[in-house]
Chain A
Amino acid sequence: MSLTISVRRRLLAGTVSALLLAGLPALAQQPPADPPAASPAPTMPAPAAPAPAATPAPAPAAAPAIPPGSPLFGRPNSESAAKLAPVAPPPIPTAAEKLPLDKLKVPAGFKVEVYASGIANARSLREGDKGTVFVGARLVDKVSAIVNKDGKRTVKVIASGLHRPNGLAFKDGTLYIAELSKISKIEKIEDNLDNPPKPTMIYDDLPKDEAHGWKFIAIGPDNMLYIPVGQPCNNCLPPDTHAQIRRIGLDGKGMEVVARGVRNTVGFDWHPTSKEMYFTDNGRDWMSEDVPEDELNRITKVGQHFGAPFCYQGNVLDAELGWGKSCSDYEKPVSLMGPHSAALGMRFNTSTKFPAKFKNTIFVARHGSWNRSKKVGGDVVAVQLDAKGNVKSVEPFMTGFLGADNNYVARPVDVLFMKDGSMLVSDDFNGAVYRVSYGK
């Protein structure tokens, strides 16, 4: 461990910062020296061509400093940067026959099919006890259910008028829904799909910030509900109530903070045997094309601090907020997930149908970058762990969401292992859910 740290220190003190200053991205893209030697190399694009000399906008010299809370904090005044803005998915789902199914590639022996379409902004996925698949949304106000009945699949809206109902969890017949600033539940939902009751609130002691306010939620092996509270900005000093993961009892009581320094996690799950929690976390925007990378983290102790907004990707101090801090004071990621790649939903493979090599493998949906000239991500990667739970490798598993022309044809958000041994993948760009299965 101490070796690791000293190697990282040197990396940090020397190469990385020097490279950053020199604006040379290639090496900075390497993961920290060891455990996480797992940057998904095969999918990593070559470093973007050097940006054309910055063309100053009309009066840049005089432009006063941008306020720290701004989503554009840190953004340079260059033409290349001016091309980058979040990619807004269309609000209307793509018709089933127009889905880019033929573009989506999986390893030999696997196949992909459309599981459901017509679900605007399909995001988080959960399977009910009776086989219903629930789908959350971030930009529309609805939670949908994909209902399997008599061999036919239909989609219905089970709750609407909600504010960014991105997160879902399911336990003992009850569906839990996370809106921007409140958690509610619908009991016996699968018995009432035709006429579901309105969700009842169980917890709303949550900040109302829109920035990174939408939530992924999950119920842990301890039967507690885990709820992230993102950093309310691209890069700022968050209040004590933010940049953390909390847990509460299923009755909404007994809140406890389990992790800090979490900028914006939109996916987590627990190792099937060690029961340790792993979570994805998205790094800040506008620092550079290649740094920082998104993270995959592991919680080994309640209360650990994962660095944001002081230290990103385990070895890069933030250009503004990192002064006086040291990365060695924070937990390192177990793997880097690519710069700006938006590593979102993740699940441990629990399928008995997938080949043995994928046992306890983490599948992570990388939604794909917007804050990078040459886009990265737009795939589902397979993260292999060793017996100690450290990352051995990160390999592309399902690709093709990002076209060769640097435009998305689809964008994966969440993955879900079904009881039947298949894996579902949601796509918020087309409003669809795909099914990946192995063998016949």
Chain B
Amino acid sequence: MRAWIVLLTLLTVSTAAPTAASAASLFEERSPMCLQCHGEKGVSETPETPSLGGMTPQFLLIQLYLFREGTRKVELMNEMAKGMTDDDLRTFSDFIAKLPPPPPPAQQGDPARMARGKALSEQNRCGFCHNPDYSGRDQMPRIRNQREDYLVKSMREYKNETRPGYEPTMIEVLRPLNDADIVELAYYLAHVR
């Protein structure tokens, strides 16, 4: 938590005048920062910050666009996407899309919780959109082996409609689920192998 607040402060200073930066230098300047928070190898070590490895370029482009426009409100990401042209957004999403998918965590999931999470996922057909192995496709993100804290956070935000999403699909999907279900789903998806 504290780590990225410090980083953000640094970043806000360094990106204070983004408009002047040409495409190349904007990429050179910001791409190392992306990797610092989101992980060099596609696996994020930062709390509540998603791993981006194995995400589709379509999903990444859409989310970066929503950050730039302020439609998805997360101050530090809004700051990161500020001043990016449409081409910059494409460059960054193509760049991030090359990161390898995160591996499952070393620790096996608790079998009872895994069974509960799996049952919830099957009942709600999570795999229909996110792929049966949750690897994601098109505008649907990879959710396999995502950080558990981020999975909880993102689902809670759909549930309370603070993150409407590009298409409002997830709000509908989560309507019949409660917070305990969200916690179990996140546990299962984070540990699935």
Contacts and interface: CB of A to CB of B under 8 A. Distances in A.
Interface of A: 57-59, 62-67, 69-72, 75, 81-82, 85-86, 88, 90-93, 139-141, 160-161, 163, 208, 210-211, 213, 233
Interface string B47-67: 000000000001001100110
Interface in B102-141: 119, 122-125, 127-129, 132, 138-140
A210 B62 contact: no
B25 interface: no
A367 to B, nearest CB: 14
Specify the main secondary structure of chain A where it touches its partner.
Answer: loop
B29 interface: no
A91 B129 contact: no
A71 B129 CA distance: 11
B172 A211 contact: yes
Contact of B132 (A58, A93, A140): A58
Contacts of A139: 166-167
B83 interface: no
Contacts of A75: 125, 128
Interface in B125-170: 125, 127-129, 132, 138-140, 161, 164, 166-169
A210 B122 contact: no
Interface string B72-93: 0000000000000010011000
Interface of B: 58, 61-62, 65-66, 69-71, 86, 89-90, 119, 122-125, 127-129, 132, 138-140, 161, 164, 166-169, 171-173, 175-176
Nearest to A161: B70
A155 B180 CA distance: 48
A85 B129 contact: yes
Given A66-B123, A88-B166, A141-B71, A71 B173 contact: yes
A64 B175 contact: no
A70 B168 contact: no
B36 to A, nearest CB: 26
B58 A90 contact: yes
Given A69-B172, A140-B69, A141-B69, A82 B58 contact: no
A158 to B, nearest CB: 16
11 contacts: A65-B123, A66-B124, A69-B172, A72-B125, A81-B128, A82-B132, A91-B166, A92-B89, A139-B167, A141-B69, A208-B161
Given A75-B125, A91-B65, A139-B166, 4 more contacts: A64-B119, A71-B172, A88-B138, A92-B90
Contacts of B69: 140-141, 160
Contacts of A62: 122
B61 A91 contact: yes
B146 to A, nearest CB: 20
A213 B168 contact: yes
Which interface residue of B65, B69, B125 has the most chain A CB atoms within 10 A?
Answer: B125
Given A59-B122, A211-B168, A140 B71 contact: yes
A208 B164 CA distance: 11
Contacts of A65: 123
